[in-house]
Amino acid sequence: MEIRENKQVIIDGKAIHTWDEVKSAYGKRMETYGPGSKGLFYSSDTAHSARLAHSSKILHQIIRPDDSVLDVGCGVGALVPFMPPCVYRGIDLVAQSVEEAIRFYPDLSFDCANLTDITEKYDWVFLIAITASVPMPEVLIKKAWELSTKGIIVDFLDARKDHGDDLNTFRMGACTDLFLDMGAQRIELYPTRNLWNVYVVHKEPFWL
């Protein structure tokens, strides 16, 4: 079953089918809006911080200080202040965003890269605030799962709550089925009062 309710992603009036088109669309938004939250589709900085603060509570429960973490679609590094201690690396398709992230957080590791090209393993791979605006969310989810040794943390716009036409909205049941098919041993779902839900998908079973 399709995990998304919609058929395509539209960014600024243009249908997005390829990673190059994602890169170009976000690059243009960076040029237009600068490194702030609006370029990343948030209505305000407050809405952006609220979303990351919610994820932060979950991350603090799950991530250990010696865990390696890959933050996919890190943008300008907005998640960094909300992160628990860990061995962090951020990647993003858009060079301008990565340059800003390095400027804000010179001591951390950031690279301009597509997740599909990454081969190193990480304890945790994050897809936070990214699935709504990519043309092939399942490809990213499966790749993140392949690269992780402990699991993935991924959030989705819930199709029952968001009926917008342009961004991806997801069926939670189909997402759960996908995780089970991938071999997930434990799946935690954190609904929020807002439009998105957060999943923590573990490789380690609960019954040890």
Ligand X SMILES: C[S@@+](CC[C@H](N)C(=O)[O-])C[C@H]1O[C@@H](n2cnc3c(N)ncnc32)[C@H](O)[C@@H]1O
Contact residues for ligand X (CB under 6 A)? 19, 22, 26, 40-41, 72-75, 78-79, 91-94, 97, 114-116, 128-130, 133-134, 140
Of 137 and 151, which CB lies nearer to ligand X in the complex structure?
Answer: 137
Tokens (6 digits) for 192? 């929020």
- Give the containing element (helix H, strand E) for 16: strand 14-16
Closest approach, Cβ 191 to ligand X, in A, equals: 19
Residue 9 bridge partners (DSSP): 16
**In the complex, least distance from residue 5 CB atom to ligand X, rounded to whole angstroms:** 19
Give the residue with the Cβ less far from ligand X, 68 or 96.
96
How far is it, in rounded angstroms, from Cα 104 to Cα 117?
A: 25
The residue with its CB nearest to ligand X is 73
Smallest gap from Cβ 185 to ligand X, in A, equals: 26
Closer to ligand X by Cβ: residue 58 or 186: 58
Looking at the Cβ atoms of 36 and 185, the one nearer to ligand X is 36
Q: Is the dihedral of CA 24, 29, 31, 32 positive or negative?
A: positive
Kindly tell me which of 32 and 204 has the beta carbon lying closer to ligand X. 32
Give the contacts of 23 (CB within 8 A, at least 6 positions apart): 93, 94
CA atoms within 13 A on the CB side of 175: 27
Query: Least CB distance from residue 18 to ligand X, whole Å?
Result: 10
Least spacing, CB of residue 45 vs ligand X, in Å: 11
**H or E element, residue 125:** strand 122-127
In terms of CB distance, is 185 or 190 closer to ligand X? Answer: 190
Least separation, in Å, of the C-beta of 55 and ligand X? 9
What six digits make up the tokens of 153? Answer: 């943390």
Pairing of strands 186-191, 196-202: antiparallel
Q: Tell me the residue type at 71.
A: D
